[in-house]
């Protein structure tokens, strides 16, 4: 569903948001798209266990846990950070995943860095038996295929499509399904030059660009300015956005609109990739730091 964003914008710009956050109550946004064909493939391969990786507040972990439960898979989450073992009950994401039946293995940050190496995966197979592996963030060929379904024929009127970028799987799907006249702008939620190449592994088309000016210091980092922006956006539009991904992207697009980046009368589509489950965990952190919290209540 595309919803018009009614803000006071210059240059005749028209802004719409694709509400992928509303696709499913628990498996929100792009994680739903990314899991679709992977879970089908796991069934074809007759696997009954899904194993994946993620951090403390990972949308992907929450999505795999719920989708696994819904579709009858056993799920295993390899979680970054030894110390989280004792904090499950204070961590809304992990608590939710555990209630969905996900089994955790907590590992050190050092071990986590080697998570996709064959040695480590063999070690996991010995420990857990056979499993269908979904990489961190859920990005692989089948995930990109799922994300090709985000844009539909009714989106052909848009000149620009903007989305947040984590591992790059979502934007790769959007790039592959975009029409030749459309420009795709990605807003990385983290620092790093590697994303461009990652995206090219899956999408060979041109006509897209990453805008690296709105990561706010890196993954999961947030500033008071961003919090105020998101709260104001919510009070004007009643659309909740998450602080890790979509919040930064929307901040970036509105900033660029005011700086005259887009041509007059441009039609811009923002992809709301979901991730609202992360707001509660973020607010816990903000309270500890005595910063204002996100009032984008859901």
Ligand X SMILES: *Cc1c(COP(=O)(O)O)cnc(C)c1O
Minimum CB–partner distance for residue 59 and ligand X (Å)? 3
Say whether residue 167 binds ligand X (CB under 6 A).
yes
Give the C-alpha separation, 51 to 130, whole Å. Answer: 9
| Of 1-9, 119-127, 160-168, 262-270: span binding ligand X (CB under 6 A) | 160-168
Q: Which is nearer to ligand X, 245 or 262 (CB)?
A: 245
Minimal CA–CA distance to 136: which of 112, 108, 160?
A: 112
SS3 133: strand
Using CB under 6 A as the criterion, what x/- string covers residues 10-29 for binding ligand X?
A: -------------------x
* Residue with the CB atom nearest ligand X in the bound state: 275
Q: Which is nearer to ligand X, 93 or 259 (CB)?
A: 93
Say whether residue 190 binds ligand X (CB under 6 A).
no
Minimum CB–partner distance for residue 170 and ligand X (Å)? 3
Minimal CA–CA distance to 222: which of 286, 178, 290?
A: 286
Give the C-alpha separation, 187 to 246, whole Å. Answer: 9
Using CB under 6 A as the criterion, what x/- string covers residues 246-275 for binding ligand X?
A: x--------------------------xxx
What's the token pair of residue 169?
A: 């799987």
Do residues 52 and 136 lie in contact, with contact meaning Cβ atoms separated by under 8 Å?
A: yes
Q: Which is nearer to ligand X, 82 or 200 (CB)?
A: 200
For ligand X, the binding residue among 5, 17, 18, 30 (CB under 6 A) is 30
Give the C-alpha separation, 226 to 247, whole Å. Answer: 8
Q: Which is nearer to ligand X, 274 or 281 (CB)?
A: 274
What's the token pair of residue 138?
A: 């859920």
Minimal CA–CA distance to 148: which of 33, 275, 269?
A: 33
Say whether residue 169 binds ligand X (CB under 6 A).
yes
Say whether residue 166 binds ligand X (CB under 6 A).
yes
For ligand X, the binding residue among 13, 37, 51, 59 (CB under 6 A) is 59
- Span 272-291, contacts to ligand X by CB under 6 A: 273-275
Burial (CB count <10 Å: 0-12, 13-18, 19+), residue 46: exposed
In the structure, how many helices (H) and strands (E) does the chain have? Answer: 11, 10
Give the C-alpha separation, 17 to 258, whole Å. Answer: 18
| Separation of CA 137 from chain center | 8
Q: Which is nearer to ligand X, 157 or 191 (CB)?
A: 191
Q: Which is nearer to ligand X, 77 or 274 (CB)?
A: 274
Site size toward ligand X (CB under 6 A) is: 21
Q: Which is nearer to ligand X, 8 or 18 (CB)?
A: 18
Minimum CB–partner distance for residue 163 and ligand X (Å)? 7
Cα–Cα–Cα angle for 211, 213, 215, rounded to 5 degrees = 100
Q: Which residues sit at the interface with ligand X, rule CB under 6 A?
A: 29-31, 59-60, 137, 139, 164-171, 242, 245-246, 273-275
């Amino acid at each position: 569903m595309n919803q018009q964003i009614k803000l006071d914008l210059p240059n005749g710009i028209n802004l719409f948001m694709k509400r992928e956050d509303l696709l499913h109550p628990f498996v929100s946004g792009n994680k739903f798209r990314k899991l679709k064909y992977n879970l089908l493939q796991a069934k074809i391969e007759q696997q009954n266990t899904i194993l994946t990786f993620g951090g403390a507040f990972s949308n992907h972990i929450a999505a795999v846990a719920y989708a696994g439960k819904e579709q009858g898979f056993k799920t295993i989450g390899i979680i970054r950070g030894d110390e989280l073992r004792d904090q499950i009950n204070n961590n809304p994401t992990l608590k939710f995943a555990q209630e969905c039946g996900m089994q955790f293995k907590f590992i050190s940050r050092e071990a986590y860095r080697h998570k996709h190496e064959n040695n480590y995966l063999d070690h996991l197979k010995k420990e857990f038996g056979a499993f269908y592996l979904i990489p961190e963030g859920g990005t692989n060929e089948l995930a990109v295929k799922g994300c090709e379904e985000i844009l539909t024929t009714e989106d052909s009127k848009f000149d620009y499509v903007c989305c947040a970028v984590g591992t790059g799987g979502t934007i790769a799907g959007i790039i592959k399904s975009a029409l030749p006249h459309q420009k795709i702008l990605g807003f990385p939620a983290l620092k790093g030059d590697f994303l461009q190449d990652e995206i090219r592994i899956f999408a060979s088309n041109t006509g897209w660009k990453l805008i690296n000016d709105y990561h706010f210091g890196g993954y999961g980092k947030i500033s008071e300015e961003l919090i105020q922006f998101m709260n104001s956006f919510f009070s004007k539009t009643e659309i909740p956005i998450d602080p890790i991904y979509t919040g930064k992207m929307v901040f970036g697009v509105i900033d660029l609109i005011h700086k005259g980046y887009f041509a007059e009368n441009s039609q811009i589509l923002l992809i709301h990739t979901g991730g609202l489950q992360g707001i509660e965990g973020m607010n816990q952190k903000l309270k500890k730091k005595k910063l204002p919290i996100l009032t984008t209540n859901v």
